[in-house]
Structure 1
Amino acid sequence: MSNQIGLIGVPTDVGAGVRGACLGPEALRIAGLAKALTGLGHKVSDLGDLDGPPNPDEQPGNGCRNLREVSTWCRLLRDRVTDVAGQGMTPVVLGGDHCIAMGSIAGIAKHCSASGQPLYVLWFDAHTDFNTPLSSPSGNVHGMPIAALCGRIKDSEFDLGVPTPVVDPSRINLFGIRSVDHIEKATLVDSGLKVFDMRAIDERSTFTIMREILDEVTAAKGHLHVSLDVDFLDPSIAPGVGTTVPGGVTYREAHLCMEMIAESGLMGSLDLVELNPLLDEKNKSAELLVDLTGSLFGKATLHR
């Protein structure tokens, strides 16, 4: 992980069914993200917001809503992330809904391909996001990025501009899962993805599962991309999201995850997504997300 951080704002909610995630980047800035990271000794460059198309709020067509706009935002982000990583900075993407992870991960995949480093993804989410245009009950693309990254959706659908699968499914770990659509559940069986739902976390513990994930990346000398959806947290501590699901990860479990990642030194890129200030309580969720990001970048009670 570089101590030089590049913040990339992606103010869009084109992939979501509830408007408001487009305001997430500014909420994170107001909550003091850059100041928190600078206080930990990092050099932070706020690279501003990408300028993409507005949300037309279309009805689903061929199983997807706002497909053209989703593709445009993802290509813009793909190129920015590749450029920022190529400059030796750690790209930190401020979303925006989770569809944008197709762009950030496509961009970091290009960077990893050039550097010869295997790419691993740690996806913190209440949902598996493994729908396709044929299976999605809503047509909202923020429920499809894992399927797209695994090559389950035709290149022509999203036009990410990189070979698919963008990431080997066996190198994707989903953590915090507790809401899976019926067809998703069936297709996950032979997907190759590692899915850690809340029952697995309850039975095996956060520490054990995180240690297993991080040990695998360490052994492969891999680049770890962390994609953090606010809804992986329990809504009692993070209400500012359009897709809340009860029974999520607690405050202390979440910090343990972030602290372990920081101690591993493996994280090379990060998404912070699905923060919806319109649904938040006095910026409570944004402030928690800033706090967790601090833990990801080295904030800890004691040196270990």
Structure 2
Amino acid sequence: MPKPICYAEVSLHPLAWEQLKAHYEITSDDSRLPEASAALVYSVPDHWAFSESTSRLKAVACHSCSSSAAAWMKEQGIALTLAHSLWRTVAEHTLALMMAAARNIVPADRAVRNGEWSGQDLKIPYSGWDFQQKTIGIWGMGKIGIELAGLISGFGMNRLYNDCRRLPAEQEQRLGIAYASVEDMLAQADYFCILLPLNEQTRGALGKEQFARMKKGCILINTARAGIIEEQAFQEALENGTIGAAGLDVFWRENDVQPAYLAERTNVVLTPHLGGSTYECDMVLANAVLERK
């Protein structure tokens, strides 16, 4: 008997993929969506609603979904699972990039593997920076920002944030975080994490003017979208030392060879958009459709 078809447009951990393949034929071919009884997507497209191409769907698992798409699925009896674990997973990756950039993990690892420890004191070139008694600025206090604020609560850091909507006072107190203007965060932050959505208001929001206000030597982390930062301004800030180190999970040209100013610098940590990529996070999606196969 042929397996049911699962449409999957998201990348999955190899072990999650194996479990899904044991019960489904998996496809990412849009032309086969009308055959699918299950779907795994990052976000449910609004045009799926009442479309012939989605008439066989019985289960959909995703990380985000509009209210109109959710209402359509409810009306059609399609089981919808929103995998909110993504927010914590991305926050953990953001913290991992902070740690790797601050403590020179990548170049120090490379130096040991290359045999440079023989006769050389590697503590001198690869000594890093603490978290305690430093200031972190979180630009974007949505679901991921709130998770990150909770994760760093034990590091003894001064925590600032900025968002278009201020958190309720009791939530700020519980998280131990204070609201600040973007200008004040830039001037004070030793670590600056970008967690904004990319839209017309945020595109290019961190440019030459903002970098001019940034504290010298700041460690910049971006696990949101590259377009929030003006690339030329970022390169200049990296080269003139305004940015002391950086951790990037998003790029202006993804799935491509990265420019030398990024690839050849030892104070920049690069990961290929892995923020939400863990076995546990992927299995939330996989289990949602496996339970309804």
TM-score (norm 2): 0.30
